[in-house]
Structure 1
Amino acid sequence: MKEETQLHHLDQDALRVQHDMEILMESFRVITSTLELDEVLKKIMHYAIAIFRSTDAGFIQLFDEHSKKLVIKSYVGFNEQIRSFRVSVGESIVGKVYRDGCVRLIGTTKEIYESMEGLSEDNYNILHVAGASERTIKSLLSVPIMFGDIRIGVMTLHRFDREEMPSERDLLLLQSFASQVAVAIHNAQLHEEVQKNLGEVTHLLTKLEDTNGILMQRTEIHNHLTRLSIENRGLKSIIIEMNHLMEKTIIYADYLEVKCYPGDHSTFEKVIADLFVLFRTKTKPAYVSISDYVDLTCYVHPIRSGAVFLGCLIIEGDGPLSPTDRLIIEQGAPILALEIMKIRSRTDILYRKTFEKYHEFLKIKNPLQAEIAAKDLGIDTQSFIQTVIIELSGNVDPHALENDTQSFLTRLKQILSVENSLLFSYNNKIIIFSTTNHEGEQTRFIKVITDSIDWWNKRNTIEARAGVSTGLYYPGQAEENHNKAEQALLHLKKQNKKGIFHFREMGIGRLFLHHQSSEIESFLAETFSLLWSDEEKYQELLYTLISYVHNNGSMAVTAKGLHIHPNTLYHRIKKIEEILRVDFDNYEDYLKIQLAVYLYNSFYK
């Protein structure tokens, strides 16, 4: 009975996929059956509502070259006033969708109206008069209409009944529909151009036939690759199919997994780290020559999802690509991006569960229960413990930062022994919990991490810093070790330094970790007096004081280091004592000065 139920669910899913594809194919046929632009746009809106059944209203805006604005061309669910809604590039939600060429999916009313803050007052009033004031937008889907790399306009769909994000299948359907919409609009626009230029009708008809041939090929490629994704064939299957369709061999280099698809491509695996550095911030393809490891020239097409860099499509050689190969890359790239984001979503869920289990383990103080929880995490605890917390910073986009964190984590997994180790990422942090039998193994373990962080920081603008805590392992006391690693990381952050720092090296610095910077600054201002408030005038005396304290109050060593006569130093020290109203022979006075110098060097130097 259970198997029959499962088969029934599979059949139902298959029927739903088939039904969605039938509607999608029917929409392709109907909207391309006419070349009248107004009629095409009406049919597009009709099928948009039919395909995305949860949608209540929507409109299509095309970019007007004369006014440089996005102009309403077709709509559903609004009154005639909506035609006055004209948006500049970059203005509000739709203006940013057109500018960036990225889909915007917003699932809450709060986020929608926050994203509309840049909307002009006139446009805001037009929306209300057109009918938006009578209903509250609960979710919104806005997608760019693009013909190849050319942006044509934006299609936006509203939902009023409840807050809800679209499913993965809806996203794939939307992508396919939007691609075909661009084809239909482009064809209709070409048709209008033909009507306006009757004197060139023969030339334009020939051009239209050639364009339609390319568009038909584009549509066939897009539909074929989309079906693979909808059927969950996987990333590797899509890459293999692209290779079957192309005249040249294409390879996908995955940024998160730091490996190539399909199969073994040892030549490229030696240079993909360099390619990632070159293309992490690029959006356009380019030819690249690399000669550090091997002499290699290749065509590289970066794969992105908004600000998130996912990897590169690579074709070896410097020869031009055929039109067919360009079409396959152009259509395959966004489908690959969606497939990779699906994989990443599953990875995020796995890491979140690991994070929750790890923190439950840290809270267990009973030794026997702690050992059971450790085994549940796949760790056979041994004599020594290492806890490392790595944090990446330097990218304002949280999704891109998390993406870089996962890429770094993949590299660590490749070079670290995972035996009796737990490695995962969560919220742009990598947590490593490991146990070893010998202190020497512990030292080697930390050195591998140190070398990896140095390697990363030399190659990336996104900085990595790590806090480390090691020691003997006592069941039920893992949380103390974790907290020490957190404190070591916080110490680095307070000093605005990258690299790695061990808790045992912190010294008295741990006493000031949780002090506000304003408190420390106030203490320095009070202690250093004029040396702090008028640093430019007393810079020489402040530097002398710091050198004096560093040399443990030795007049001879300090004078030699400052390249001045001991008598000159003596007079400076006396002047410093007068300004600060202290006596360096007084234990408490000198201790206060020592502490101030330490804090100055730690937080302000």
Structure 2
Amino acid sequence: MVQSTHQFTELEQQHMEYLIRDVLLRHQLSTEREHHQRWLQSLRQLTGSLRLDELLLTIMDHALEVLPSASAGLFLMHDPISDNMQPRAQRGFHDSIYDYRAQTHEGITGRVFSEGVARVYPTFASIFEDIHNVDEERLGLVAGSFLGDDLTVHGMLAVPVRMHTDKIGVMLIYQFDDSRTLHQGDLDKLQGFTDQAAIAIVHARMYSELLDNNRYLEQRSQIHRVYTQLSIDNAPLEQIVQTAADMLKFPVCFVDTEAQQTYSAEGYEYIATEQDTSGNAMWTTDDQYAVDAASHKTPSSNEQIYPVRNGSLLVGYFQLPIQRALEPLEEVILEQASAIVLLHMMNMYSMTGMLYRQSRDFFDELLQHRDPHTLADGLRRYGLHAESPLYVALLQVDSDTTDVRIAENHIRQLIARIDRQPERGAYLLFGSSDKITLLCNTSSASTPSQLAEQLDVIISHWQRDSSIPVYGGIGGAYNGLEQIARSHNEAGRALSYARRRRQTGVMTYADIGINRLFLQQEPQEIENYVQEILSPLRIPKYAAAELEQTLRMYIQENRIAAATAEKLFIHPNTLYVRLRRIEEILQVNLNDSGDWMKVYLACHLSETY
């Protein structure tokens, strides 16, 4: 302080006042210019970075510089997927603040974001009015994240960050000291800054998305190159599966539902269940595994599957030991792996089809029996011997489908089950259309009846899994190549007989018995014969009297009257009355061998055909 005894005149006092005002104005102008230059410099620096994370921190730093009374800042960006606000940049907080999530319908952040209007909160009381609907736990998370102890928020600025209609987020500025009160000018300055910052954020976000897309396309291209090379090298399935596991960074397993085999990458423990070993659910190609990549069905509690299809036909699936959703690149890896696996399997199917055709052509030569010596040599390639009895087995899959691929798939699956049998011997085997043909030696495989038992077990499991009926017939075993055609013919008759009776499983020709005599008869001729004999008993008044039922029970009980009456719950005298009535209506004598055979045969054929 300057002390003086000089008395200033009024003019001198006015001059002194003007000088002091000039100094103060110059100081204020210099301060404003400094702030303005800092603000402009901040705006220029915003355009200097296109990396979003770096840019957000830069924005936060400059926002605090533009407002000298600011103590801490927080930028929250809107996440459209979760529809909440997530911290992306901060100053004056611990990193624990990044765990905070703000709802778009509550608190200061939600209000400013939803309304799109900047707000100044000059006092704590004004702040409290807008945070009453935020739960205490999340409020505590924010308060506990401040750098420093016993800090009190005295004021706050909340500004929406947006570009046109694109809502980006909210900028929050906190004031811990009460040396000055935040006012509308501070808010306008921050809003102007954030408006420019929004442009930079949008550009940086576009640049970041472009980098991500380029990186994604480059990685996708690399994945494609790797699998293309595997395809060129004709790599085995084991290598394809291992490559997929290496790229995914976790072990996987591929299940071939047609060949009924598994291919596991290193580190993957595939545990076969009782269902697997018996050949049911895990091998089925029904819709229980017909899922798309977005809704993987889990065969176990901690795994999911990725199906591999040939059109609408499921040929296998990758089994993944994860429960979370797949990342985009993981989808690409499995998509590319599936394409190569499918190509590999199509090649195998083509080779299998070629082998089937060769076997079928050789079998046709056996049926024609033109060159016995050459045929005997050919049999040895299949482990068969012309010197031992040979027989033929035929299986027919009644899949009732018009899709050739599905029908072929059923044949391949059934053949795979036959080939998996541990007790299988040597045989010539091939599939064609909806049939499977086997040529066996009694010495190298088993007798016709033993093979029928083995095939019945396979067919039983198959039908339990797929609900698709399979019929089979086996011819007799005979010595000599010229007898193969005979056994083949008998197998076909047994198969036809089984289909007529809708009796699934395998039937040997020997089991048909007397019905062999009628296999060549037209079904209509058999029906006409049955109607000719039994139709008189089917007149309504006689049908009501249960005469035909009585006749059939009499035949079933081998013409023993007491047993028949007991089964029908009638008195023996009533039975005799009915039998005499049957003789009168049919005009036969049941004690006559010829008449008895005629009636017996009609009843038998009506039940059999």
Could you tell me the TM-score, scaled by structure 2's length? 0.59
Maintained 8 Å contact 2:383/2:426: yes
Structure 1 residue aligned with 2:454, among 448, 451, 454?
448
Post-superposition offset of 1:493: 0.7
What residue in structure 2 maps to residue 406 of structure 1?
412
* Amino acid aligned to 1:452: I
* Amino acid aligned to 1:573: L
What residue in structure 2 maps to residue 258 of structure 1?
260
Maintained 8 Å contact 2:258/2:409: yes
Q: CA offsets, 1:312-360, max 9 Å, x none?
A: 2111343443443233223432342233122211211110111110120
Post-superposition offset of 1:482: 1.6
Maintained 8 Å contact 1:406/1:425: yes
Structure 2 residue aligned with 1:283, among 266, 290, 296?
290
- Does the alignment pair 1:358 with 2:368? no
Post-superposition offset of 1:460: 2.2
Structure 2 residue aligned with 1:371, among 371, 376, 382?
376
| Matched position secondary structure for 1:564 | coil
What residue in structure 2 maps to residue 590 of structure 1?
596
* Amino acid aligned to 1:342: N
What residue in structure 1 maps to residue 486 of structure 2?
480
Post-superposition offset of 1:457: 2.3
Q: How many angstroms apart in 1 are the aligned matches of 2:327 and 2:249?
A: 8
* Amino acid aligned to 2:241: I
What residue in structure 2 maps to residue 518 of structure 1?
524
Q: How many angstroms apart in 2 are the aligned matches of 1:299 and 1:347?
A: 30
Q: How many angstroms apart in 1 are the aligned matches of 2:534 and 2:505?
A: 31
Post-superposition offset of 1:472: 4.1
| Matched position secondary structure for 1:380 | coil
> Mapping of 1:483-498 within 5 angstroms?
483-498=489-504
Maintained 8 Å contact 2:424/2:445: no
* Residue 274 to residue 595, structure 1, CA distance change in 2 (3 Å): closer
Q: How many angstroms apart in 2 are the aligned matches of 1:535 and 1:468?
A: 45
Q: How many angstroms apart in 2 are the aligned matches of 1:199 and 1:367?
A: 88
Unaligned 5+ runs, structure 2? 1-162, 168-201
Q: How many angstroms apart in 2 are the aligned matches of 1:410 and 1:327?
A: 31
Q: CA offsets, 1:446-474, max 9 Å, x none?
A: 43223222222222212222112243423
Maintained 8 Å contact 2:442/2:477: no
Maintained 8 Å contact 1:465/1:498: yes
Q: CA offsets, 1:139-176, max 9 Å, x none?
A: xxxxxxxxxxxxxxxxxxxxxxxxxxxxxxxxxxxxxx
- Does the alignment pair 1:426 with 2:429? no
* Amino acid aligned to 1:447: E
Q: How many angstroms apart in 2 are the aligned matches of 1:505 and 1:511?
A: 13
> Mapping of 1:37-56 within 5 angstroms?
none
Q: CA offsets, 1:105-164, max 9 Å, x none?
A: xxxxxxxxxxxxxxxxxxxxxxxxxxxxxxxxxxxxxxxxxxxxxxxxxxxxxxxxxxxx
Structure 1 residue aligned with 2:308, among 303, 307, 314?
303
Structure 1 residue aligned with 2:569, among 541, 563, 571?
563
Maintained 8 Å contact 2:260/2:283: no
| Greater mean deviation of Cα atoms: 301-310 or 572-581 | 572-581
* Residue 580 to residue 382, structure 1, CA distance change in 2 (3 Å): same
What residue in structure 2 maps to residue 316 of structure 1?
321
What residue in structure 1 maps to residue 352 of structure 2?
347
What residue in structure 1 maps to residue 270 of structure 2?
267
Post-superposition offset of 1:477: 1.3
Q: How many angstroms apart in 2 are the aligned matches of 1:246 and 1:216?
A: 16
| Matched position secondary structure for 1:267 | coil
Q: CA offsets, 1:6-61, max 9 Å, x none?
A: xxxxxxxxxxxxxxxxxxxxxxxxxxxxxxxxxxxxxxxxxxxxxxxxxxxxxxxx
| Matched position secondary structure for 1:584 | coil
Maintained 8 Å contact 1:383/1:436: yes
Maintained 8 Å contact 1:416/1:445: no
Q: CA offsets, 1:206-243, max 9 Å, x none?
A: 89645675555445434542453355334443323212
What residue in structure 1 maps to residue 125 of structure 2?
none
| Greater mean deviation of Cα atoms: 366-375 or 514-523 | 366-375
Maintained 8 Å contact 2:390/2:477: yes
Q: How many angstroms apart in 2 are the aligned matches of 1:535 and 1:511?
A: 35
Post-superposition offset of 1:480: 1.0
- Does the alignment pair 1:333 with 2:343? no
Maintained 8 Å contact 1:245/1:328: yes
Maintained 8 Å contact 1:535/1:542: no
| Matched position secondary structure for 2:298 | strand
Q: How many angstroms apart in 2 are the aligned matches of 1:362 and 1:523?
A: 35
* Amino acid aligned to 2:270: T
* Residue 274 to residue 368, structure 1, CA distance change in 2 (3 Å): closer
Q: How many angstroms apart in 1 are the aligned matches of 2:304 and 2:337?
A: 15
- Does the alignment pair 1:435 with 2:441? yes
| Matched position secondary structure for 1:391 | strand
| Matched position secondary structure for 1:476 | helix
| Matched position secondary structure for 1:288 | coil
Post-superposition offset of 1:499: 0.9
* Residue 226 to residue 581, structure 1, CA distance change in 2 (3 Å): farther
What residue in structure 1 maps to residue 508 of structure 2?
502
What residue in structure 2 maps to residue 247 of structure 1?
249
* Residue 269 to residue 401, structure 1, CA distance change in 2 (3 Å): farther
Q: How many angstroms apart in 2 are the aligned matches of 1:579 and 1:205?
A: 97
Maintained 8 Å contact 2:393/2:472: yes
* Residue 355 to residue 417, structure 1, CA distance change in 2 (3 Å): farther
Post-superposition offset of 1:506: 0.5
What residue in structure 2 maps to residue 66 of structure 1?
none
Q: How many angstroms apart in 2 are the aligned matches of 1:535 and 1:215?
A: 83
Maintained 8 Å contact 1:303/1:309: yes
* Residue 318 to residue 418, structure 1, CA distance change in 2 (3 Å): same
Post-superposition offset of 1:307: 3.6
Q: How many angstroms apart in 2 are the aligned matches of 1:400 and 1:242?
A: 28
What residue in structure 1 maps to residue 93 of structure 2?
none
Post-superposition offset of 1:417: 5.0
Q: How many angstroms apart in 1 are the aligned matches of 2:517 and 2:479?
A: 25
Aligned residue pair count? 402
Post-superposition offset of 1:366: 6.8
Post-superposition offset of 1:370: 4.6
| Greater mean deviation of Cα atoms: 436-445 or 571-580 | 436-445
Structure with higher Rg: it is: 2
> Mapping of 1:141-160 within 5 angstroms?
none
| Matched position secondary structure for 1:432 | strand
| Matched position secondary structure for 2:315 | strand
* Residue 346 to residue 367, structure 1, CA distance change in 2 (3 Å): closer
Q: How many angstroms apart in 1 are the aligned matches of 2:537 and 2:216?
A: 74
Q: How many angstroms apart in 2 are the aligned matches of 1:379 and 1:329?
A: 44
Maintained 8 Å contact 1:386/1:434: yes
* Amino acid aligned to 1:526: E
Q: CA offsets, 1:546-605, max 9 Å, x none?
A: 1122223322221122221112222222333333333323433322221111111112xx
| Matched position secondary structure for 2:482 | coil
Q: How many angstroms apart in 2 are the aligned matches of 1:208 and 1:581?
A: 96
* Amino acid aligned to 2:316: G
Q: How many angstroms apart in 2 are the aligned matches of 1:319 and 1:274?
A: 28
Q: How many angstroms apart in 1 are the aligned matches of 2:371 and 2:522?
A: 35
Q: How many angstroms apart in 2 are the aligned matches of 1:409 and 1:439?
A: 16
**Percent identity (aligned):** 25
